[in-house]
Amino acid sequence: MRIGIIGGGASGMMLAAQVNNKDITIIERNNKLGKKLLLTGNGKCNFTNLNFNDLNNKYNNDFAINIYHQFDNISFIDFFNNIGVVSKVETHKGINYIYPNSNKASSVYYCLLDRINNNGVDVIYNSLVKNVKYIDEKFCIALDDDRNLVFDKLVLATGGKSYGNTGSDGIGYSIAKKLGHTIITPTPGLTSLKYNFSDNVELKLNGKCRVNAKVSYNSYKDNVFFEEYGEIQFNDNTISGIPILNLSNKITRKLINSEAVHITIDFSSSLLYNYEQQLISKEIVKSTLNSRRQNTLYRNVRDFLCGYLPDEINEVVLKLSNLKKIRVSELTDDDIDKLTNHIVKFNLTISEPPNFDNAQITLGGVNTEEIDVNTLESKIIKGLYFSGEVIDIDGICGGYNLQLAYSTASIIAKVFKE
């Protein structure tokens, strides 16, 4: 049985590393495997974590949750330990992230590559797939160097469209569509977002700043509410940070339907001493500002919030509150109310869909209704399998997407070993 794998990224490598005594060929467009894998986690490779409770908030759909349960994070960690990757836990804001003990993605890469070489897998580098045909229950592959290959089984592990400089151009979607599959529109995920101030306020947050905050997105039309807490980053007209990246998966899906999205940022949480504390109430913020007023009567209003939030945000909050007084001593209770409201409800509008330039993953892909969740084999063409990001599954930050890439590969590997 000849098995072809189109794509030698994280998922393709994981699959080839788990199957031996088979005639396997990886077709890779780059001059090396795992190019995107080496970039994950800023080169540290956060490959999973220990906090997979409440899976409905981690993954996009039930299909992804089912995939995880078939090859979970503990199975993943055990596999890597068995092939030589010593793992470690780093805890940040209550999440136990798993990294290679070396802090290098290359450790994961070389252990997988060593297993692939030991399994006798044939790798064709620097090759583009020009055409795929399904003839007489065989997959006929035409490469750009005029070579033609024939396989009994074919796995699409091509990834999505994120990190285009690594060669990810969405070719897997084209192949799947040609073979009869439906493609859910690929869009950027885990990405920064361009924003405007709500209510048509012509303001710009100049400069760069970081601050802890609670970010919420309320879609009254769909009767859904999402919120994230953590450090967010402003950079002129874009906003990012893990809370934004996680919400971007949901927001982008609305933007592609030309629906503007409104998000609310609560800066009061920046005053928490640690993540376990409850969010500070609006009344506490108001009380704090009243105390500042009494203690800084001599100040100019433009300096009233100095030391409370980053200067760039303080400036915008003051402008939104339309305070024209000169001295803090002139501030009224109504002025304090205005400032409080803009600190706990800092409203932004997201109206422009992001591009793939800064996206970490691709949303959309091969429709999961056309894939057998237990084997990842196509329901349309026998012998065709899908692995990793090419499928319409996605997760939030924290190793969830790499976990999916490896879980899907492991399910297919189990099929091939039987």
Asked if 394 and 361 touch (Cβ cutoff 8 Å), the reply is yes
Given a cut of 90, whether residue 206 has pLDDT beyond it is: no
Between 182 and 43, the more confident residue is 182
pLDDT digits (tens, 9 = 90+) for 316-368: 899 889 887 789 999 999 999 999 999 999 999 998 889 998 899 999 999 99
Which of 49-58, 71-80, 297-306, 325-334 is predicted most confidently?
Answer: 71-80
CA–CA dist 159, 167 (Å, integer): 10
Q: Which of 11, 22, 96 is nearest to 53 (CA)?
A: 96
Q: Identify which has the larger pLDDT, 358 or 115.
A: 115
Q: What is the β-pairing status of strands 261-266 and 384-386?
A: unpaired
SS3 content of the chain, % helix, strand, coil (to 5): 35, 30, 35
Read off the pTM. Answer: 0.91
Contact 395, 193 (CB under 8 A): no
CA dist 264 → 127, 202, 321, 346, 359 (Å): 47, 17, 16, 6, 22
Contact indicator for 190, 360 with CB cutoff of 8 Å: yes
Residue 288's SS3 state is: helix
Name the β-bridge partners of 358.
Answer: none
pLDDT, averaged across the chain: 91
Read off the pLDDT of residues 18-41 as tens digits, 9 standing for 90 and up.
Answer: 999 889 999 999 999 999 899 887
Domain with CATH 3.50.50.60 in the chain: 2-188+363-417
pLDDT tens per residue, range 285-321: 898 899 999 998 998 998 999 888 888 888 889 988 9
Per-residue confidence at 199, pLDDT binned at 50, 70, 90? Answer: low
So what's the pLDDT on residue 273? 46
CB-CB contact of 251 with 261 (8 Å): yes
pLDDT for the residue 259: 78
Give percent of the chain with pLDDT exceeding 70: 94
Choice among 71-80, 192-201, 275-284, 327-336 with the minimum mean pLDDT: 275-284
The pLDDT tens digits of the residues spanning 208-255 come to: 899 989 999 887 666 668 889 889 999 878 999 999 999 999 999 888
Confidence label for 164 from pLDDT (cuts 50, 70 and 90): confident
* 3.50.50.60, 1.10.3720.10, 3.30.10.20, 3.30.2420.10: CATH of 2-188+363-417: 3.50.50.60
